[in-house]
Structure 1
């Protein structure tokens, strides 16, 4: 193929996406034209029901003919791509997640890099949130249509070269053309440089235990100290992988451990943040009001607390018939790995499975599993509460037009960064496991100032004289008062989402 192309347009760690986009722009050819020329014979001959609707993987490039790509670009693009991916995931090689798990499935880019036609695998790497070349926050939604764009070779999601399907241009080369595409960028982020210097996961500071969605390079760098550390005797309290999956007794122990951790968080919040609002919580929880009157205004602090518990524990209703202390279920663990904090069960289980399976069938100290679970549960539960508190007044005023509790949960997960390292050491001829927890709090835990409708002592005392209107009680005391039943049902429906 006779094409306008220069070898210096390809940079270290560059993705095939920007390489193909540059080829498209410089030669005024479409992606379909590129694929017709460089796709392998099997893929080219497939019947495509919608013209231009191909969605081709940019990780393996298996739909392309390797030799043709090498003729076009002057390098083996397939091997170049594989080497880039492997270099970034090398410190994670003992992890059971596939390499592609560590990269975003939608396009992420740096506005400064893309202005020079450059897009890097470092931008797609989930453990990075800022461009390592310019230290600016990475973009992941189109500025015009506000959508995520799948990281694919596709006309379905992209328009002209370096453009979203909606027409938004990531970069405008109409005047400069390709004169700046050979610009070299230097990595300035120290955490990225440290990561790229690692050869394997057996480095002196321990093996890495992390999930793709919950880590970043900052907490894994030598510049970030561990937040908590605990040592365990390797030979004590040992369990097998079968115990983790099938032992009812062990799963109950993990469940009770989670209950105790949640109650610790709950007590901390009630004692240190909400100590002025215990009556407000009681009022909202038990649907208290005076006879013949509407329900009183809801305290934003109580609203945040009650819905924090409901969302985190995945309880069916926000209201309760009573508010006895420590009123939480202690019957879990009967059906495999369960947690009281149901909203984060799958996330913690995935991490614990990773830890168990990394031991290649050897028995492990069960206390290590409980400690990892405690650290995750405590820290996530606490920052999730602060996020609920931040938005509670807005939800009260605007219902769920701007946000809702489930969205707050997902946003909190997106900003929750935690990782563990562990190493086996010999102490006095005994083998021990040192576990270190690394955590980065990106959530503002400053207590938000809201206006409490029960701020006066008189109003607080008035709550104790109110009557509960939970459905079970009014069905007994007012079985035929349909107006009251409908009123209470409407109130519950408004706040029970």
Structure 2
């Protein structure tokens, strides 16, 4: 099959997604036909209806014959992909994350850029939440049907080029002269320009953060909190000390202390006038010959916050912290995976496996744990009135959303060499409130 294409239609930082949408438009063929035409030998043998997502992915272009692709497009798209992705990831290349962490498997796009048929790797990079060109919020679902569009060469969610299955047109460039498909890409967002220009970070300037909630804008802010003390360090006798029971017991004790501190803060600030309400809810207590009284929203928020956070099956038991059970590393079982992610990143980004800087480790993990617990209580407060009235609690999917909303939007700056005396600095997003009494 002959394919019409001019390399002049390709723009700086453009992703393969919009390139192939333009190929589809110019040649009146669907996306699967593009893949079958430009695909490698294995793809050509596979029936159209059984081509899996792994063949349709746009990062490594693993379903394509790269020489054929270069011949048709006039450029080596694989090399361009690697160059742009490598440049975007240089400041965080010490992060051992799947590529999908940084480049999600569903499309993010700028509503203005897409009008000209342009989708950029800068739109797809998870730390960029606004278009660096137009400085407007990126979209991640169809404005009409609210469905997501896969970041794949796929006909699953799309109909005609740049058109959702529901009929909504992301772009209508069919009548636009091909000469206008070339556009000038000017990055107006200063933090994005700095990110691209900075390259690899040195070892003394490591950043610990959650890619799930962080934004490029946070990296330009000045640190607001600094640890008060230097950290004592000792050389470890074995490199797997973090797996020993002594370390796990220490982590559990620190976690219990954090939770008790937050629990005390919540009870003192929000719950002290509602202690009777809590007892009535936990004990399902009511007066004789009376209906069960309305549930107090504060009691609702507190009881179910504590029950779910501690991983308890029932809310009507005495919700106290118990001794560490086998296989459990923290008392706050609901957030164990998040804490574990921070722990693993901290070990991976430093030489903590060689130098036991327990003081530094616990300071970092305790800060994250405390903020997580408090943020999660605020999530329960948001739904308390409605939940108490309906006598219902969120399902697991909604709890997961509440939990993700609780992850601190904070960046911790540290040195990769923990054998050197150092202080930890914390950069905070505008939405965050790290606890003053934890400083």
Q: Give TM-score scaled by structure 2 length.
A: 0.89
Quick check: 1:319 aligned with 2:310? no
Q: Once the 2 structures are TM-superposed, how far is the Cα of residue 15 of structure 1 from its aligned partner?
A: 0.9
Distance 2:198 2:386 in 1: 46
Task: Give me the whole-angstrom Cα distance separating, in 1, the residues matched to 2:84 and 2:268.
Answer: 51
Offset at 1:444?
A: 10
Higher alpha-carbon Rg: 1
1:95-494 to structure 2, matched below 5 A, reads: 95-176=95-176, 178=178, 180-202=180-202, 206-221=205-220, 223-233=221-231, 235-236=233-234, 241-245=239-243, 247-320=244-317, 322=318, 327-329=320-322, 331-332=323-324, 334-335=326-327, 338-359=329-350, 361-398=353-390, 404=395, 407-414=398-405, 416=407, 417-423=409-415, 431-440=420-429, 442=431
Indicate conservation of the 8 Å contact 1:311/1:405, yes or no. Answer: no
Aligned 8 A contact 1:284 1:302 in 2: yes
Q: What is the distance in 1 between the residues matched to 2:52 and 2:127? A: 33
Paired residues in the alignment total 432
In 1: Cα distance, 2:52 partner to 2:417 partner: 57
Say whether the 8 Å CA contact 1:259–1:340 is kept in structure 2. yes
The answer to whether the Cα contact below 8 Å between 2:55 and 2:62 also exists between their aligned partners in 1 is no
CA positional deviation for 1:82: 0.9
Summarize the Cα distance change of 1:399–1:160 in structure 2 as closer, same or farther, 3 Å threshold: farther
Compared CA separation, residues 179 and 343, structure 1 to 2 (3 A): farther
Q: 1:425 to 1:31 in 2, by over 3 A?
A: closer
**Counterpart residue number, 1:70:** 70
Q: Provide the rounded CA distance (Å) in 2 between the counterparts of 1:39 and 1:174.
A: 26
Task: Name the CA shift for 1:132/1:65 in 2 (closer, same or farther; >3 Å).
Answer: same
Using the alignment, how far apart are the partners of 1:40 and 1:231 within structure 2? 58
Q: Which runs of 5+ in 2 are unaligned?
A: 435-439
Provide the aligned C-alpha RMSD in A: 2.9
SS of residue matched to 2:380:
helix
- Report the TM-score, using the length of structure 1 for normalisation: 0.79
Q: 1:239 to 1:388 in 2, by over 3 A?
A: farther
Whole-angstrom CA distance in 1 between matches of 2:223 and 2:276: 41
Q: Choose between structure 1 and 2: higher strand proportion.
A: 1
The CA deviation at 1:278 is 2.2
Q: Deviations over 1:260-295 (max 9, x none)?
A: 111111111111123322222222122221122221
Q: What runs of 5+ residues in structure 1 fail to find an aligned partner?
A: 446-497
Cα deviation digits, residues 216-240 of structure 1 (max 9, x gap): 222223x342434354335248585
- Report if aligned partners of 1:228, 1:436 keep a CA contact under 8 Å in 2: yes
Report the counterpart of residue 437 of structure 2 in structure 1: none
C-alpha distance in structure 1 between counterparts of 2:30 and 2:416, whole Å: 55
